[in-house]
Chains A and B, each alone.
Chain A
Amino acid sequence: MSEPFSEETRQRAKEIIARYPHGRERSALLPLLHLVQAEEGYVSPAGISFCAELLNLTRAQVAAVATFYTMYKRAPTGDWLISVCTNTMCGVLGGDAVYQTLQEELGVGHDETTPDGVFTLEHAECLAACDYAPVMTVNYEYFDQMRPEQAREIVAALRRGERPQPTRGARLCPLKEMSLQLAGFPDERPEALADGPPGEPSLAGVRLAAEHGIEVPGFDPATPIGRPAPTPAEPGHQAPATVSEPAADRKPAGEPPPAAGGGAEQAGTAVEKGRNEKP
């Protein structure tokens, strides 16, 4: 197996693979590519080999997937990935100006990294926050209702080594740490989960309803809804959770890698056990 990846990363890779049903390990490919970025900051040729070997795929099969998705970067990416939404709503409400300002401030264009390797800038398609438009994200954490001067100040703060607080979501962490979360591992910072109270636009309707005492009448949680449940022993209560057939489109599901047996003893223990215990 290729050298660059640490023992810790290999261990995590096994945990990721164990999340998916036996024989369907290929499902782990997207999180594994995030994991590669957590160590390398982008998907390198070595990272492609790493995934291919783990999942018993060819390098071409992995590369085909890695190049399809926007979040897999093909060149070293900065500690801070700044994505400015320039889709229609954000664009007309000021996102275009924010993007223009940051291009000048950082001296780079779309999908480019500053020479010191600290910042990568990109313009993003809709970030699903139009009620907060215009938005930008730093390592995927949202900064809402951005103005060019605010965006410039966020960059300045990051240059000073500060970590500006996003409007929603957790305090910032470098892109590699964020990639680990994308691979499905919890944010280890105890305070991070509680960060990010709902913004006013999210609450606009429900606050209006609360202020005016509006509720939906007639709600009775005891409303009868059906016959009693069958007893657990009754046959047909559950479908068996085994897989044997190839996908409908005859795509290979990927052969189970030799390491899969050991991997199942990690995070997936409960899953695998629950599956096997059934009659």
Chain B
Amino acid sequence: MTSPSPEVLAKLTPVLTKRWLSPDAWRLEVYERLDGYTALRKALSVHPDDLIQLVKDSGLRGRDGAGFPTGMKWGFIPQGDGKPHYLVVNADEGEPGTCKDLPLMMADPHSLIEGAIISSYAVRANRAFIYVRGEAVHAARRLRHAVAEARAAGYLGTNILGSGFDLEIVVHSGAGAYICGEETALLDSLEGYRGQPRLRPPFPATHGLYASPTVVNNVETIATVPYIVLGGAQWFRSMGTEKSPGPKIYSVSGRVNRPGQYECGLGITLRELIELAGGMQEGHELSFWTPGGSSTPMLTAEHLDTPLDFEGMMGAGTMLGTTAVQVFSNQDCPVYATYRWMEFYHHESCGKCTPCREGNYWMKQVLRRILSGKGTHEDLETLLDACDNILGRAFCALGDGATSPVTSSIKYFKQVYLDYIEGRREPWFAPSAEPELVGAYK
């Protein structure tokens, strides 16, 4: 295992992850000893409008994948409108590759609670919901405990710290549906419906939860807020790039020696991340990788030095997404990887719109046929044609994202597809076990 160079080590920005080294930071008493809730006291002493301005000035962009400016989102909430406002924290982490929010909620749940209180104060919300992925019970357990502790200490409830501000937080467990990470599907789910996305406009800022003004932010976004309140916008901008400022938790997984969470300024490169992660595993050579989960088109070794920020990834024809950096090697098959991802999108498609529901269903089967050695040249055209009919025509970003692995793998690894089709590669699945690809199956 190689040791990272001092220049690369200097890219680390331990801000959100810093408390994780203290094993009991999830307890209020320890959190307070580590400067917990000092940001809340400071925030409550300033005007809420100034907090919105502060977050605008910081340049914080949503850590959910889309990268929308957080302060601007908060600014869209109409004030003095006589309606209740809501903050909804999106903790429905499920994008393949993404694994940053669960460890944060597990190790440092109070930082999310503190961020949620400050954010609610800024947008004048008196109720907040944390929608936690159902399967993440270990994180929800700590969060619920943190909410109870915070309430007992007067950080939640009525007249918080004598400010006159009231807030209740409910931790709400989902029930296993990736689509609920999409903010309007999440809102429908939180209202007790099937988690299916809503037509926009109107946007959640004016018609969100219970048709009221609502801010929906990701866990990492909200957990970043207390640090901006303490350190100020200028300090926050000392990390990252001009257009993508601040620290970001990169989740590095796959064929590296030390997979894990690496918090760095936005704009770090894959080469540097691999170096931090102890290099590639022995016998493995970088082949393909995702910059931010399976919904972001894959890249190859030619992109080792492209900055992992919103602009850099856009320039490379992909997206920063959730900075879920999945590293695959020459021993991994890009067609099989794509097939597995399509199984995922097929399973998780909510069924609301035809392009996504039908498109993913068929693409998964076409890919399986190719992997079974029964593919045809026409299959490649069918796949691209299906992607054409999904991208931009699906109801929400899930459908768009589902086309990413297919189009990008065909772009970079067409030869591997042809090798399966033309019989130069051993079929992944036994051809005899495959049903004929006509009509409905099973």
Q: Using CB atoms and an 8 Å cutoff, list the residues of chain A in contact with chain B.
A: 19-21, 24, 26-31, 33-34, 55, 64-65, 68-72, 83, 86-89, 91-93, 124-133, 137, 140-142, 168-170, 178, 181-184, 186-187, 192-194, 196-198, 200-210, 212, 214-221, 223-233, 236-243, 245-249, 251, 253-254, 270-271, 273-275, 277-278
Instruction: List chain A residues, Cβ under 8 A from B44.
Output: 229
Chain A: which residue is nearest B191 at the CB level?
A27
Report the nearest B residue to A193, measured CB to CB.
B145
Verify B14–A131 contact, CB threshold 8 A: no
B interface residue numbers (CB < 8 A to A): 4, 6, 9-10, 12-15, 17-18, 20-21, 23-24, 26, 35, 38-39, 42-51, 53-54, 79-85, 93-99, 101-103, 106-107, 124-127, 133-138, 140-142, 144-145, 148, 151, 157-159, 163-166, 168, 170-178, 189-195, 198-199, 202, 207, 210-212, 229-232, 234-235, 238-239, 247, 249-254, 258-264, 276-277, 294, 324, 326, 328, 332, 336-337, 340-341, 343-344, 347-348, 350
Q: Is the CB of A198 within 8 A of B168?
A: no
18 A–B contacts from the bound complex (CB under 8 Å): A26-B193, A33-B175, A69-B176, A72-B176, A126-B97, A128-B102, A129-B99, A140-B135, A184-B173, A187-B141, A193-B142, A205-B276, A208-B9, A208-B12, A214-B10, A223-B234, A239-B81, A240-B84
> In the complex, which residues of chain B have a beta carbon less than 8 angstroms from the beta carbon of A87?
96, 340-341, 344
Number of A-B contacts (CB under 8 A): 362
Q: Which single member of B10, B140, B199, B260 contacts A203 (CB below 8 Å)?
A: B260
Contact B175 A72 (CB under 8 A): yes
Contact B124 A70 (CB under 8 A): no
- A241-B127, A248-B207 are known contacts. Are A131 and B13 too (CB-CB below 8 A)? no
Identify the closest chain A residue to B263 (Cβ): A205
- Kindly list chain B residues whose C-beta atoms are within 8 Å of the C-beta of A242: 84
- Among A31, A132, A202, A205, the most chain B Cβ lie within 10 Å of the Cβ of A205
**A224, B85: Cα distance in complex, Å:** 27
Closest to B78 in A: A239
Question: Which label, helix, strand, loop or mixed, suits the secondary structure of the B interface?
Answer: mixed
Residue among A128, A205, A277 making CB contact with B264, cutoff 8 Å: A205
Query: What's the minimum C-beta distance from A138 to chain B, rounded to whole angstroms?
Result: 11
Query: Please, which residue of chain B has its CB at the minimum distance from the CB of A62?
Result: B192
Q: Which residues of A contact B328 (CB under 8 A)?
A: 92
Chain B contacts of A93 at CB under 8 A? 254
Quote the shortest CB–CB distance from A31 to chain B (angstroms): 7
CA distance A220 to B234 in the complex (A): 11
CA distance A220 to B231 in the complex (A): 5
Contact A202 B260 (CB under 8 A): yes
A240 vs B124: C-alpha distance when bound (angstroms):
9
Asked if residues B189 and A30 are in contact (CB atoms below 8 Å), the reply is yes
B150 to chain A, nearest CB (A): 13
Tell me whether A202 and B103 are in contact in the complex, defined as CB-CB below 8 angstroms, given that A70-B176, A131-B253, A278-B166 are known contacts.
Answer: yes
Contact present for A236 and B79 (CB under 8 Å): yes
Interfacial chain A residues near B125, Cβ < 8 Å: 239
Which of B232, B249, B343 is close to A220, meaning CB atoms less than 8 Å apart?
Answer: B232
Q: In whole angstroms, what is the CA distance A200 to B250 when docked?
A: 15
Chain B residues lying within 8 Å of A239, measured Cβ to Cβ, are: 79, 81-85, 124-126
- In the bound complex, CA of A163 to CA of B106 (Å): 22
How far does the alpha carbon of A207 sit from the alpha carbon of B55 in the complex, in Å?
A: 29
Q: Flag if B229 contacts A225 (CB, 8 Å).
A: yes
Contact B47–A219 (Cβ < 8 Å): no
Contact at A216–B239, with CB atoms within 8 Å?
yes
A221-B230 in contact (CB<8A)? yes
Cβ-closest 7 pairs across A and B? A232-B164, A226-B50, A204-B260, A169-B138, A70-B176, A223-B232, A205-B262
Provide the residues of chain A in CB contact with B261, threshold 8 Å.
Answer: 131, 201-206
For A268, the closest partner residue in chain B by CB is B168
Asked if residues B138 and A91 are in contact (CB atoms below 8 Å), the reply is no
Contacts A131-B252, A225-B229 known; list 18 others, CB within 8 Å: A19-B170, A71-B134, A89-B254, A131-B260, A181-B137, A192-B141, A193-B145, A198-B20, A198-B103, A202-B260, A206-B21, A221-B231, A225-B46, A231-B164, A232-B164, A239-B82, A245-B211, A274-B168
Instruction: Quote the shortest CB–CB distance from B356 to chain A (angstroms).
Output: 15
Chain A interface helix/strand/loop/mixed = loop
Residues of B within 8 A of A27 (CB): 172, 190-192
Please name all residues of chain A whose beta carbon is closer than 8 Å to the beta carbon of B141 when the two chains form the complex.
Answer: 169-170, 181, 186-187, 192-193
Q: Give the residue among A128, A207, A248 with the most B Cβ atoms within 10 A.
A: A128
Alpha-carbon distance A233/B158, docked complex (angstroms): 14
**A29 to B172 Cα, complex, angstroms:** 11
Please measure, in the bound complex, the distance between the C-alpha atom of A270 and the C-alpha atom of B127, giving whole angstroms: 13
Find the residue from B15, B42, B260 having the highest chain A CB count within 10 A: B260
What is the chain B residue whose CB lies nearest that of A33?
A: B175
B344 to chain A, nearest CB (A): 5
Residue from B17, B126, B191 with most neighbouring chain A CB atoms (10 Å): B191
B146–chain A nearest beta-carbon distance, Å: 10
Task: Tell whether, in the assembled complex, residue A216 and residue B13 are in contact, meaning their CB atoms are under 8 Å apart.
Answer: yes
* Distance (whole angstroms) from the CB of A17 to the closest CB of chain B: 11
Asked if residues A209 and B166 are in contact (CB atoms below 8 Å), the reply is no
CB-based contact A238/B124 at 8 Å = yes
**Interfacial chain B residues near A68, Cβ < 8 Å:** 177, 194-195, 350
B22 smallest CB distance to A (angstroms)? 10
Query: Which of chain A's residues have a CB closer than 8 A to the CB of B189?
Result: 30
Contact B97 A130 (CB under 8 A): yes
| In contact, B51 and A204 (Cβ under 8 angstroms) | no
Report Cα–Cα, A29/B47, bound state, in Å.
37
The docked-state distance in angstroms from the alpha carbon of A206 to that of B294 is 25
Give Cα A126–Cα B182 distance, bound, in whole angstroms. Answer: 16
CA of A150 to CA of B253 in the docked complex: distance in angstroms?
21
Q: Assess the B260–A200 pair: CB atoms within 8 A.
A: yes
In whole angstroms, what is the CA distance A110 to B326 when docked? 26
- Of the candidates B47, B163, B232, which one forms a contact with A227 in the assembled complex, judged by CB atoms under 8 Å apart? B47
Asked if residues A141 and B164 are in contact (CB atoms below 8 Å), the reply is no
Task: Find out whether the CB atom of B137 lies under 8 angstroms from the CB atom of A169.
Answer: yes
A168/B230 in contact, CB under 8 A: no
B85 to chain A, nearest CB (A): 5
Question: Bound state CA distance, A183 and B137, in angstroms?
Answer: 10
B116 to A: closest C-beta gap in Å? 16
Q: How far is the CB of A129 from chain B (nearest CB, A)?
A: 5
- Quote the shortest CB–CB distance from B32 to chain A (angstroms): 14
- In the complex, what's the smallest C-beta–C-beta distance from B7 to chain A, in angstroms? 12
Q: Give Cα A33–Cα B192 distance, bound, in whole angstroms.
A: 10
A92 CA / B20 CA spacing, docked (Å): 29
State which of A21, A216, A229, A254 has its C-beta within 8 Å of the C-beta of B47: A229
